[in-house]
Amino acid sequence: MTAISDRPQMLPEDFEEFAHRLASTAEGIRPEFINGKLGVKPVPDGDHATIIEWLMRICIQSRPELWLYDQGLKIQAYRSGHARPDGALAPSGTFAGQGEWADADGVLMVVEVTSYDSDTDRRDRVEKPRAYAETNIPVYLLIDRDSAEVVVHSRPDGVRYETVQTLPFGKTVHLPEPVGIALDTEPLKDWVR
């Protein structure tokens, strides 16, 4: 028997319509639908955007056949979730012909950069690692500005990531295959409060 709290707040199709309408009227937020619950994340600040730019440059230099997309993803088969990671690393052209919410097939890594808001702990450190692991996305990279750490989740088993590595800003982080990129995280120290 399904508990009332386990039921989604809305159907995925309703969320997509809601998100589309919200995008045309609300500024400063980006809607998501994770674990059957509606949530929002703030629009990134300048340091957040600079971190994504830094990561995009490294990815392009290391693996020019890949692109770091700003793309909404359909996640969690069970809950029919929708997340908008700060970056989705995939082969160039992966999302051609797809809409605002694309299938996660072909995504090698998702990236989140923590925001300075009250939901970041629950959203980026608890809900998203599980949702991305359930979707079998090979690598989840969390750039945690609160703790000045990089957290690399890998080896999803369909429920959780079996390997989690945490390193402080300033260390070199080796992103596992299928990404296979090394990140010198020293510059991240300049983009935290």
Average pLDDT over residues 2-7: 48
What is the DSSP pairing of strand 109-113 with strand 161-168?
unpaired
pLDDT at position 3 is: 46
- 39 or 60, higher pLDDT: 60
Average pLDDT over residues 9-34: 60
If one looks up domain 44-191 in CATH, what number appears?
3.90.1570.10
Average pLDDT over residues 129-148: 95
Read off the pTM: 0.78
Q: Is 10 helix (H, G, I), strand (E, B) or coil?
A: coil
Indicate whether 7 pLDDT > 60: no
Burial of 80 (0-12, 13-18, 19+ CB in 10 A): middle
* CA dist., res. 193 & res. 189, Å (int): 9
Indicate whether 102 pLDDT > 90: yes
Average pLDDT over residues 88-108: 95
pLDDT at position 118 is: 66
* CA dist., res. 3 & res. 5, Å (int): 5
pLDDT at position 1 is: 40
Task: Give the residue from 44, 61, 89, 86 showing the smallest Cα distance to 191.
Answer: 44
